[in-house]
Chains A and B, each alone.
Chain A
Amino acid sequence: MNKFNLLNINFGRAAIYFILFLFAFIYLAPLYVMFTTSLKDIEEIRSGNLMALPIDPTLYAWKKAWASACTGSECKGLAPYFWNSVRIVFPAVIISTILGAFNGYALAKWKFKGSEFLFGALLFGCFIPFQVILLPMAKLLGALGLANTVTGLVLVHVIYGIAFTTLFFRNYYVGIPTELVKAAKLDGASFLKIFRHIFIPLSTPIFVVTIIWQFTQIWNDFLFGVVYSGSGTQPITVALNNLVNTSVGGKEYNVDMAAAIIAALPTLIVYIIAGKYFVRGLTAGAVKG
C-alpha cells in the first residue's frame, strides 16, 4: 500500500516536471533563437538550421545594431535612442512613483469627504486605453509647447502612470494598521512626518513593485513614443521598429535580433535583480491581512 502510494507520488511528480520543462522549453525557444541568430553571420543564417548553435560566433551584429545600423535615414544604430529612453524612463518612473506614494498614503489613511469617489475616479484611469487619449494629449502637449520633446513624453507617462501607482500604494497602505497613524498623531507627528518616519520605511516592497511596473510599462511603450516624439527624441522601441523596417540591401536578421535583445535588456535586468521582490510585494497584502 505504502509502496504503491510512493510510486504514485513519484509518477505524479515526474509528470509535473516533464510538463513544466516542456512549457519552459517552448517559452524560451524564441529567446534561444534570437540569441543564437544574433551571434551568427548572415551566410550561416541563410544556409544553416534555425535551431543550430553558431559555428563561428561573432559580435558583428551587436556592434552594428548598437552603433551603425540604419533607422530610417540616420545610420547611428540604437545607441542614441537607448539614451533617449533612459532620459524618458528615469524621471517618469521616479515622479509617478513618488506621486503615487503620496496619493496612496492620503487616500488610505487620511480619508476625507469624497476620498473614496476620488480613488474610484483615479482607478478609472487604469482602464482608459492609450488610443483614446492620443488626440487630446497631442493638443495639450502642443499648447504647453512640449510637442516632440523628451519632457513631453515624461509628462504623458507620469500622468498615465499615476492611476496605477496610486492603486498600488493605496492598497498596500490600507493593510498598515490605522492605529499607527493614531499613535503617531498623539506623539505629535504631522501628515508628512508620519509619512516619512513610519510609512516610507515600511514601503520597500511596494516601491519595488511600482518601480518595476512603471519601468517596464514606460520602457516598452511604443504608441506614445511613436506619436509624441520628434526625430531626435524617439525612444528605443520606435527606433527598433524603424531599424527592422529599414532595408538597405538584404535583410540582416542577425542585426535585427541583436537590436531586439538590446531593446529588451533593461527590463530583463530589472526583473532579474528585483523579481523576487515583485512576487513578494504583490502577495504581501494578501498574506498580512
Chain B
Amino acid sequence: MGSISLNGINKSFGSTEVLKDINLDIKDGEFLILIGPSGCGKSTLMNLIAGLEDLTGGEIIIDDKDVSEESPKDRDIAMVFQSYALYPTMNVARNICFGLEMSKMPKNEQEVILKKVSSLLQIDHLLDRKPGQLSGGQRQRVAMGRALARSPKVFLFDEPLSNLDAKLRVEMRTEIKKLHQRIGTTIVYVTHDQIEAMTLADRIAVLKDGELQQVGTPYEIYNDPVSHFVADFMGSPGMNFIECIVKDEKLIIESGGEKYELEIPCKDAINNSKLDVVLLGIRPEMLTEIQPSVEKNSYIHQIKFDVDVLEPMGADTVAIGQWNESEVMARLSPESGNAAGKGFDLQVDTSKAILFDPNSGLRIR
C-alpha cells in the first residue's frame, strides 16, 4: 500500500511563497511525475513529502495516516537523489544495507535482501566497491538499490537521470519503467524533462510558480492541455501558437500575400469566447508535406510556407519558418525535408487544433 494525499499544501521560505495550495491524490501503485520549469517548487514538494522540510500549511496523508508532523524515517519513504548521495566511505553493499542497519535488522536478514536487490539491479559484482569507483550508471543503480532495500511504501525520485549522458538516460528510463511494473510500488518522480514525463508517467502533474496547472495522463496533458503554458511546456518540438482573427466560426490568417480561412473543430469555443482574436495551438506533427493518402476533409488545408531553418532529426526533419508573423515548426519526412525551401507546400491538419485566450493564456473550450 502507498497512497498519498496532499491537502492544501503551502510552503513559504520567509516571505516567498514557494507552493500555493497544492491538492493532489496519488493512488497506490501509481507512477506520478511532477514536472515544471526550474524554480517551480517541484523539488520542494518532494522534500515536503519526504519530511525533509516542514510544511507551512496543509497536510500530507500516506495510507490514511496524517504524517505531516512525522520525521522522515517514520514515513516509510525512500528517495533517489539527483546526485545519488551515496555514502562515499562505504562500499556498495553497506550503502544498500545502511537503512536496514539503522533499523537494527539482523545481519543475515540484511544479506538476503542485499542478494535480492543486487541481482534485481544486476550489481552483484560491484558490492565491494566504493561509490568513487563506479560509473554514473552504476551509481544510479546503487542509489535505486538503496531505496529498494527498505521496500518502502513510496519511492521518491528527484531528477534521477539528469546527471547521465543521453544514451544511458534512455536506457535507465526504460529500466525504471520496468522496475515499476515489476514491484508496483507508488513512485513520485520529479523531472524537468518532458520526454521522461511522457514516457514514464501514469499521470503527470504540471507545476508552475508553485501552483498546480494540470494533472492528467500523458495523453490528456499532450492533447488536451488546459493552458498555453502546459501546451507549450510539453512536446518536443513545442506546440505552435499562431494569432488568428475570428470570422464566421473560422480563423483568418494572412501570410505572404495569401489569405487563408481555417476550419476548426471547436466551433462552440469560438462562439462562447466572444473573442475577435484567438491563439491557435497546433502541434508540429499536424503540419506536414502534402499527404496524398490522407482523405480530403474540411480540416485539411494547404498553405505556402517559407522555410528558414531545417533541423534533421533522423526519423523526421523539423522545418522552422515564418507564417503569419509567428515562428512555426513543421514536422516533415526526411525526404521532403531535403526539398523544402521558400514557398513550400505545407499541409495543415486542424482536426486536433485547440484555441487559447491570447490575454489569459487559458484554453477556450
Please give the residue numbers on chain A whose beta carbons come within 8 Å of chain B beta carbons, in ascending order: 177, 179-180, 182-189, 193, 197-198, 201-202
Whether the Cβ atoms of B89 and A179 lie closer than 8 Å is no
Using CB atoms, name the residue of chain B closest to A179: B85
Q: Given A182-B52, A182-B79, does the pair A187, B85 have CB atoms closer than 8 Å?
A: no
Chain B residues with CB under 8 A of A188: 73, 99, 102-103
Q: Is B77 an interface residue (CB 8 A)?
A: yes
Number of interface residues of B (CB under 8 A): 24
Whether the Cβ atoms of A193 and B73 lie closer than 8 Å is no
Whether the Cβ atoms of B52 and A187 lie closer than 8 Å is no
Chain B residues with CB under 8 A of A183: 79, 81, 85-87, 146
Whether the Cβ atoms of B83 and A179 lie closer than 8 Å is yes
Q: Return the contact of B87 from the options A182, A185, A186, A198 (Cβ within 8 A).
A: A198
Whether the Cβ atoms of B73 and A187 lie closer than 8 Å is yes
Q: Given A193-B102, A197-B98, does the pair A185, B85 have CB atoms closer than 8 Å?
A: no
Whether the Cβ atoms of A202 and B50 lie closer than 8 Å is no
CA distance in complex: A189, B71 (Å):
11
Q: Given A188-B99, A189-B102, A202-B89, does the pair A177, B79 have CB atoms closer than 8 Å?
A: no
**How far is the CB of B216 from the nearest CB of chain A, in Å?**
29
- For window 60-106 of B, CB contacts with A under 8 Å fall at 71-73, 77-79, 81-83, 85-90, 98-99, 102-103
Give me the 10 closest cross-chain CB pairs, A-B, nearest first. Answer: A187-B99, A201-B89, A188-B73, A179-B85, A188-B102, A183-B85, A185-B72, A179-B81, A186-B72, A189-B102
Chain A residues with CB under 8 A of B88: 180, 202
**How far is the CB of B83 from the nearest CB of chain A, in Å?**
5
Whether the Cβ atoms of B98 and A182 lie closer than 8 Å is no
**How far is the CB of A187 from the nearest CB of chain B, in Å?**
4
CA distance in complex: A187, B73 (Å):
6
Please give the residue numbers on chain B whose beta carbons come within 8 Å of chain A beta carbons, in ascending order: 47, 50, 52, 71-73, 77-79, 81-83, 85-90, 98-99, 102-103, 146, 150
Using CB atoms, name the residue of chain B closest to A178: B85
CA distance in complex: A184, B95 (Å):
10
Chain B residues with CB under 8 A of A187: 73, 98-99, 102, 146, 150
Chain A interface SS verdict (over half): helix
CA distance in complex: A276, B31 (Å):
51
Q: Return the contact of B73 from the options A179, A186, A198, A202 (Cβ within 8 A).
A: A186
CA distance in complex: A179, B82 (Å):
9
Chain A residues with CB under 8 A of B78: 186
Using CB atoms, name the residue of chain A closest to B156: A186
**How far is the CB of B12 from the nearest CB of chain A, in Å?**
15
**How far is the CB of A208 from the nearest CB of chain B, in Å?**
16
CA distance in complex: A117, B83 (Å):
30
Using CB atoms, name the residue of chain B closest to A199: B89
CA distance in complex: A189, B101 (Å):
9
CA distance in complex: A50, B209 (Å):
78
Using CB atoms, name the residue of chain A closest to B143: A183
Q: Return the contact of A180 from the options B47, B77, B87, B150 (Cβ within 8 A).
A: B87
CA distance in complex: A198, B77 (Å):
20
Can you name 18 A-B residue pairings with CB atoms under 8 Å?
A: A180-B85, A182-B47, A182-B81, A182-B85, A183-B79, A184-B98, A185-B72, A185-B73, A186-B52, A186-B73, A187-B99, A188-B99, A189-B98, A189-B102, A193-B102, A198-B89, A201-B90, A202-B89
Chain A residues with CB under 8 A of B146: 183, 187
Whether the Cβ atoms of A186 and B77 lie closer than 8 Å is yes
Chain A residues with CB under 8 A of B150: 187
Q: Return the contact of B79 from the options A186, A193, A202 (Cβ within 8 A).
A: A186
Using CB atoms, name the residue of chain B closest to A180: B85
Using CB atoms, name the residue of chain B closest to A182: B52
Whether the Cβ atoms of A177 and B50 lie closer than 8 Å is no
CA distance in complex: A189, B94 (Å):
14
CA distance in complex: A201, B87 (Å):
10
